[in-house]
Every structure is written in C-alpha cells, then in structure tokens.
A and B are shown apart, each in its own frame.
Chain A
Amino acid sequence: MSPDEILKFLRLSYTALSDGALLVLIALALVLIYKATDVINFANGEFMLIGGYIGYQLLIWLQVFESPGLIVLLAIIGVVVMTTLIGVLVERLVLRPLIGEPIISVIMVTIGLSNVIQAIVGLIWGKNPRPLPIDIIPRFSPFRIELEGARRPLNLLPDTLIILAVAFVLVGLLLLFFRRSKHGIAMRATADDQQAAMSMGISIRFIFALTWSLAAITAAVAGLMIAHVTNGVSGDIHNVSLRAFPVIILGGLDSIAGAIIGGFAIAFVESFSSGYIDPSVKTVAPYIVLLIVLMVKPYGLFGQKRIERV
C-alpha cells in the first residue's frame, strides 16, 4: 500500500469507529425493547430527536451559569431525567392499554407515536436546523498523522474518541446492570418467561416501564451526540435511526452483544464501501452483507433461539 492508501484506510476506519459507537447505542435501544416486549420500536428515532432537542433547549436555558462544563453536565442530567419520564409516560399512556393485544398492533402504535413526536417537536422548535449554543464535547485540536511520501497529512478529530468512550461507558453500565442488579436480572427473567417472572413477584409493568426508560435514555444520548457531530439539532437526527435496523437484524434482534458487534460491523461496511467503491453504495452495502449473513444464520449473528436440550 502506498502512504496515501494507508492514510485513507486509517481515515475510513476512524470514521467507522465513531459511527459504529453511535449505531451501537441506537441499536441497543431497539434491542432492549425487543428483548423485553417483542416489539420493534419505530419511534426510536424520535426518542433520539427528543434527546437532541431537549439537550439543545437546556443548553440555552442553562446559559445563566458561567462554567460551560457545569452547563453541559446539568444539561445531560436534565436530558436523562426528562427521557426517563418520557419513557415511563409512553409505556403507561400508550403501551400499557395495549397489553394482551397482538404485537403487530403495538408496532403500529409505535409508528403512530413517531409521527406524533415529530409533529410536537416541529410545533415547538420549527423545521429549521438550530446550532447548539455550546459544544457538548469540547473541540480539541485534531491529531495530525503525517506519512513520508503522502500528499496530505491526515487530521483526526478527538471527538471520535470521546464518543467511543461515552458509548463504552454506557454499554458497560447497562451490562453491569443486567448481570448484577436485581432489577436487571428481573428484566432478563421477564424476557425469558413473562408468566414465570410474574410468579416470582416481579411486576411486569414496572419492568416494561424500566425498559422503555432505559431505551429512551440510550437513544437520547445517541441523539445528543449526533447533534454534536452534525453541529446542531434538526429533523435529520431521526434519519440516522434507520441505519440501526440492519444492525439489529445482523446482530440478532434480542442480543446485546449482537448490537455491539453489528453496530461496528455495519459502520465499517458503510465506511469502506463508500470509500473504496462509491459513496452511493453506502446505503445499500449493509443490506447486501445482511442478506449474505442471514442466509447462513437466519437468527442473525447472536440471536437467541430457545434452548433445546439434546
């Protein structure tokens, strides 16, 4: 490989890392809900949208404080609190009345919900993109990688690393929650066998509300970071959510490990196909890979089948 090619490879990989981290979070939000309730949440993108816009609004209101660090911290806490409430509210007002109805009705309702949220966001904040008043991730100067014989040096933004770190911490916390905490174990138990979980005294309603809140928080954090990457909030945030569908199908709808590996895999496929083949291939390439994988593994890479003892 020539020096230029090496740098190009590095650049494409680096892009894929931050994209991958975001896709992981978005996919995770979908997987959480699917695992617990068998529902594919078509309003996931709107949870991201809400996260972005609430973050934007809080950043504006919090300008009364001096320190940008404090403003960002409070804004993030605010987003988490608000989206938790929204998750609970959605579960209680929209989804709980549907308990016992066919899954397909619930899925249709999430499609309806996505339209409603878009309309509300449009009413409050309008259609035009709005820049964030302060950066949520500090803008450090890029690293510069120079190679002898290369025509141009490669500049890499440190933001990618911070996004990766945020995703890493969030995913780590979630995994810890599922392995160690009583409610996390109860969530997995509920995913396995709802009625048996009820017989343990686990309240399914509480678990569902918790699930929707955790998913909403995860999606909102992704939304905030996309707002940072795209220099502001706009209706486009929720479009990114569509790219998470091949991720969860690739990884297996109910697998957290699948969401993580699938997220990075799809991001690399997107980045390399657009870099090495043609930018227009970027949107189809994930689906081509997906088709090939599903031919071999119909439940996705990590999808759970019922355990059959032999």
Chain B
Amino acid sequence: MLSLNNIEVIYNDVILVLKGLSLQVEQGTIVALLGANGAGKSTTLKSISGLLRPENGEVTDGEIIYEGKPIQNREPAEIVRAGIFQVMEGRRVFEHLTVEENLRAGGYTTNSKQHAERAELVYNYFPRLLERRNHVAGFLSGGEQQMLAIGRALMAQPRLMMLDEPSLGLAPMLVQGIFEIIKRINQEQGMTVLLVEQNANIALSIADYAYIMENGRVVLEGKPNDLRQNADVREFYLGLTEVGSRKSYRDVKHYKRRKRWLS
C-alpha cells in the first residue's frame, strides 16, 4: 500500500535528518515505527503527509509510493484527500473549538452529509467524547484530547491512519485503552495503521510488523515476536535483561559498535 524507498529528508536546506530510510506498509496491517528521541520518526510521518514543507523540510532523494503513485512533496490537502491522515504528535486539538467542531474539522475533506454518521462511529469508539461533545477541547483531559485527535482522523475516512506517539503523556491505564481501540479500528474498519512510538512494549503488542530506527535509518525490522527475542531490542527498547544474566559492558559495547557501523 505504502512504500518508502531510500528517502532522504533535509530541513532548512542543510540539516540532513532522514538518511536513506526505507519501509513498507501492507494493506490492512498495523506497522510500528520505533526509535529513541530524535531518531526521525515524526519526520518520517511528515514526509508522507506533506507536513514537512511548512517546517521548511523537503524530501530530497528517494521515493514515497502510495497505491502505485509517487506522492513525495505533495500538499497536505492532496495527501488527506488521497486517504492518508496523520494524527500529529502532542494531540494538537483545536483548543477553542468544541469536541463536535473538532470532529467536523477532521471531516473537512469528506462529504458533510455523512458527518453525522461518521461522528456516530467516533462516539461509539469513544463514549467519553459523546458526553463532552459540546465542551471546548482545550479543557479536556490529556486522554480525552488523544481520543479526539484519533476521532478527527476517523472523520476523514482515511485508508491509512498514521499516529505519532499516541501514548505521549498519558497514564499507563489510559494508554492500554487507547491501544485496544486502535487495534479494534484496524480490525473493524479495515484501516491500515502506521504507528510511531517510543513505548515499544505497547506498540509491539498490537503491531503486525515493526521497524526500529536510529539516526534517520531503519536499523532493525521484523515481526513483533522476533523483535522481542532480539537481545538488543530487549535491552534497549523494552528495558528487559535476560533473567540471571548480568548486564555486561561488552554487550553494550557490541551494540554501540553495531550502531556506529550502521550510522
């Protein structure tokens, strides 16, 4: 459905952030993109959604192919109409608009006759939002704002929904709930999901496939179960060490060496 082939992204004509990144998203799956702060995860999503331009960034090399057509450096409005919707990092709800108005803004590119029906669907997944439909979004709790941000995406009826760190700043219980709903949306609506996360544990729990990136490149990829077995991933992304084995300096050095070699 979507493939990024060796893309390179440069901000302000000089800052090279993505250095030949490749990844594939298959129709109907949930793909997780994991990595530490500053790895370039958000940049990857923005290069797909066209939101790089307002930040003075540009895809300077490689190709982004969506349903057979190249889409790099297009206008965000075109991308949304083509069926890709990015839920931005930090929720970014329209603070002074009500919940319902936020949803209508989310459905901007779709036929307004279907708005009521779509909103119904959103309220089904997030009954909290129904209770708050006439509240101003700026006063919602962080969890409710994240629900609203996802709800806005549903309003646009995308085929590919891209989520940028939906767990950011939320309590673990809430995160669990939100991820369950993401999984349900994926299964019930047949919506493909590209999920960016720092919380590798929870992301791997719902993903069908995952990429781990570092320094603007993919360094590891695979099925969640395989990645979970990988010692480096266990240690550096899941915070697990082998039971009984001492965390040895050599392992760390080995990892660092590999990292240097990869970057």
Contact partners of B50 in chain A: CB under 8 A? 198
The reply to whether the CB of A195 lies closer than 8 angstroms to some CB of chain B is: yes
The reply to whether the CB of B223 lies closer than 8 angstroms to some CB of chain A is: no
Tell me the residues in window 69-127 of chain A with beta carbons closer than 8 Å to chain B beta carbons: 100
The reply to whether the CB of A309 lies closer than 8 angstroms to some CB of chain B is: yes
Q: Is the CB–CB distance between B108 and A192 below 8 Å?
A: no
A6 to chain B, nearest CB (A): 43
Q: Is the CB–CB distance between B105 and A189 below 8 Å?
A: yes
Q: Is the CB–CB distance between B112 and A193 below 8 Å?
A: no
CA distance A20 to B139 in the complex (A): 34
Binary per-residue interface labels of chain A (284-310) against chain B in the complex, 1 for a CB within 8 Å, 0 otherwise: 000000000000000000001011010
Contact partners of A191 in chain B: CB under 8 A? 96
Q: How large is the interface on A (under 10, 10 to 19, 20 to 34, 35 or more residues)?
A: 20 to 34
How many B residues, CB 8 Å from partner? 36
B166 to chain A, nearest CB (A): 14
Contact partners of A193 in chain B: CB under 8 A? 92, 94-95
A246 to chain B, nearest CB (A): 25
A9 to chain B, nearest CB (A): 39
A103 to chain B, nearest CB (A): 16
Contact partners of B54 in chain A: CB under 8 A? 194-195, 198
The reply to whether the CB of B130 lies closer than 8 angstroms to some CB of chain A is: no
Q: Is the CB–CB distance between B88 and A200 below 8 Å?
A: no
What residue of chain B has the Cβ atom nearest to residue A197's Cβ?
B105
Q: Is the CB–CB distance between A192 and B94 below 8 Å?
A: yes
What residue of chain A has the Cβ atom nearest to residue B76's Cβ?
A198
Known: A186-B105, A202-B108. A196 touches B92 (CB 8 A): yes
Contact partners of B49 in chain A: CB under 8 A? 199
Cβ 8 A contact of A200, one of B55, B95, B106, B139: B106
Q: Is the CB–CB distance between A182 and B104 below 8 Å?
A: yes
Tell me the residues in window 115-172 of chain A with beta carbons closer than 8 Å to chain B beta carbons: none
CA distance A203 to B81 in the complex (A): 11
Q: Is the CB–CB distance between A200 and B97 below 8 Å?
A: no
Contact partners of B109 in chain A: CB under 8 A? 200-201
Cβ 8 A contact of B96, one of A192, A198, A199, A203: A192
The reply to whether the CB of B136 lies closer than 8 angstroms to some CB of chain A is: yes
A193 to chain B, nearest CB (A): 6
Q: Is the CB–CB distance between B95 and A306 below 8 Å?
A: yes
Q: Is the CB–CB distance between B76 and A201 below 8 Å?
A: yes
CA distance A189 to B149 in the complex (A): 13
Contact partners of B101 in chain A: CB under 8 A? 185, 188-189
Q: Is the CB–CB distance between B76 and A185 below 8 Å?
A: no
Contact partners of A304 in chain B: CB under 8 A? 96
Contact partners of B64 in chain A: CB under 8 A? none
Tell me the residues in window 105-131 of chain B with beta carbons closer than 8 Å to chain A beta carbons: 105-106, 108-109, 112
CA distance A197 to B95 in the complex (A): 12
B92 to chain A, nearest CB (A): 4
What residue of chain B has the Cβ atom nearest to residue A195's Cβ?
B54
Q: Is the CB–CB distance between A195 and B77 below 8 Å?
A: no
A22 to chain B, nearest CB (A): 28
Cβ 8 A contact of B108, one of A100, A200, A307: A200
Binary per-residue interface labels of chain B (54-66) against chain A in the complex, 1 for a CB within 8 Å, 0 otherwise: 1110000000000
Q: Is the CB–CB distance between B76 and A196 below 8 Å?
A: no
B104 to chain A, nearest CB (A): 5
The reply to whether the CB of B180 lies closer than 8 angstroms to some CB of chain A is: no
CA distance A191 to B105 in the complex (A): 12
The reply to whether the CB of B80 lies closer than 8 angstroms to some CB of chain A is: yes
CA distance A306 to B102 in the complex (A): 17
Q: Is the CB–CB distance between B138 and A199 below 8 Å?
A: no
Q: Is the CB–CB distance between A200 and B156 below 8 Å?
A: yes
Q: Is the CB–CB distance between B139 and A201 below 8 Å?
A: no
Top 5 closest pairs, chain A to chain B, by CB: A201-B80, A307-B138, A196-B92, A201-B109, A192-B94
What are 11 inter-chain pairs, A to B, with CB distance below 8 A? A100-B56, A185-B104, A189-B97, A189-B102, A192-B94, A195-B92, A196-B93, A198-B54, A200-B108, A201-B108, A201-B109
A interface residues with partner B (beta carbon < 8 Å) = 100, 182, 185-186, 188-189, 191-203, 304, 306-307, 309
Please give 20 more A-B residue pairs, beta carbons under 8 A apart, in addition to A188-B97, A198-B76, A201-B81.
A182-B112, A186-B108, A189-B101, A189-B102, A192-B94, A192-B96, A193-B92, A193-B94, A194-B54, A195-B51, A195-B88, A196-B93, A198-B50, A199-B49, A199-B92, A200-B80, A201-B79, A202-B77, A203-B75, A307-B139
